[in-house]
């Protein structure tokens, strides 16, 4: 909640929706008391709001004193829940990312207003906190809840993995490809060996020129028509037709429309 606040003019919003992933074994162990856990988590969030607002009272008093002499900004409502109520869900990790008891993945979702310039509808900013093997990491991602206004198919990916044959129409200017997971949402999720990274590669389209580019994000490399592309975030031009290899395990046929 502390990482995903949204500052407004008169208040600060706290995200109301949280998804908590536990290892499958730990989730099974505590499944019968999940309603109690949800109740206590809600209580903890309420207490955090109260604590944060108590700390801001002295600052608010100072601002009110300043306003008496015609300075400063109007009073604020403090930290408030962005939704009508807290929503907390506890789920088992079915992707096998969490092995030990105490490991946890938490998604904190904050609904954002539409981005008029991008032509998108409501957006969600997700802060993902992962605690694993005694270490904690955080990552941020903003996603659109609706499909972009422009739904023209720009390219198509065709591939085969452990689940069979797939086709994916590229309608956005950027997509990620990989094994994915609870902590690693991707646009094209392939079912294959662990040599393919959770986030293995990215395809980006330059909206001004229509040119596509390929970026390697992986551990074991990405190939383009049999040749390894540079690592470290460097972009490689994608020809209109190409064969993309993920760790020489899964191959995707790219065709620009």
For residues 21 and 65, the answer to whether their CB atoms sit within 8 Å is: no
Is 104 within 8 Å of 131 (Cβ atoms)? yes
Confidence of residue 64 (pLDDT cuts 50, 70, 90): low
* Residue 179 main-chain phi, psi, to 5 deg: -75, -20
pTM for the whole thing? 0.69
Q: What confidence category does residue 130 fall into, taking pLDDT thresholds of 50, 70 and 90?
A: very high
Give the start-end residues of each E strand in the chain. 6-7, 12-14, 17-23, 79-81, 87-93, 104-112, 123-132, 135-144, 155-161, 164-170, 174-178, 188-189, 201-205, 212-216, 222-224, 227-228, 235-238, 241-246, 250-256
pLDDT confidence of 142, banded at 50, 70, 90? confident
Strands 188-189 and 174-178: what pairing?
parallel
CA 20 to chain centroid: 14
Structural domains in the chain plus CATH codes: 6-144 (no CATH), 155-256 (2.60.200.20)
Supply the pLDDT for residue 68: 61
Would you say residue 170 has pLDDT above 80?
yes
* Statement: residue 124 has pLDDT above 50: yes
Query: Residue 187 pLDDT > 90, yes or no?
Result: yes
Q: What pLDDT, on the 0 to 100 scale, is given for residue 75?
A: 47
Summarize the confidence of residues 223-238 as an average pLDDT: 94
**Concatenated DSSP letters for 3-17?**
TS-EE-SS-EEE--E
φ, ψ at 245 (rounded to 5°): -110, 130
Q: What is the pLDDT of residue 128?
A: 94
pLDDT averaged over every residue in the chain: 87
Does residue 142 sit in helix, strand or coil? strand
Give the C-alpha separation, 249 to 31, whole Å.
37
Instruction: Quote the tokens at residue 209.
Output: 């020129």
Please determine, for residue 199, whether its predicted confidence score (pLDDT) is greater than 90.
yes
CA distances from 133 to 6, 104, 137 (A): 30, 10, 11
Q: pLDDT tens for residues 100-123?
A: 888 999 999 998 876 555 455 578
User: What does each C-alpha distance from 75 to 12, 32, 50 come to in angstroms?
Assistant: 12, 45, 17
pLDDT confidence bin for 99, thresholds 50/70/90: confident
Mean pLDDT of 130-136: 92
């Amino acid at each position: 909640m502390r990482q995903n606040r949204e500052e407004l003019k008169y208040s600060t919003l706290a995200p109301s929706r949280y998804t908590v992933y536990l290892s499958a074994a730990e989730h099974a162990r505590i499944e019968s008391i999940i309603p109690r856990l949800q109740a206590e988590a809600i209580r903890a969030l309420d207490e955090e709001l109260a604590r944060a607002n108590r700390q801001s009272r002295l600052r608010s008093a100072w601002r009110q004193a300043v306003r008496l002499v015609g300075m400063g900004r109007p009073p604020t409502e403090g930290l408030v829940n962005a939704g009508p109520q807290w929503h907390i869900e506890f789920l088992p990790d079915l992707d096998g990312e969490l092995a030990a008891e105490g490991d946890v993945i938490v998604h904190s979702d904050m609904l954002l207003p539409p981005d008029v310039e991008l032509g998108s509808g409501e957006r969600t900013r997700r802060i993902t906190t992962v605690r694993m093997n005694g270490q904690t990491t955080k990552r941020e991602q903003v996603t659109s809840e609706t499909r972009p206004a422009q739904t023209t198919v720009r390219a198509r990916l065709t591939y085969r993995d452990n689940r069979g044959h797939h086709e994916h129409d590229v309608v956005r200017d950027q997509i990620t490809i990989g094994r994915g997971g609870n902590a690693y949402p991707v646009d094209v999720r392939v079912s294959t060996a662990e040599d393919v990274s959770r986030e293995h590669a990215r395809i980006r389209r330059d909206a001004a020129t229509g040119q596509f580019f390929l970026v390697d994000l992986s551990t074991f490399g990405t190939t383009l028509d049999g040749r390894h592309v540079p690592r470290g975030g460097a972009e490689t031009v994608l020809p209109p037709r190409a064969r993309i290899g993920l760790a020489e395990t899964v191959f995707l046929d790219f065709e620009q429309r």
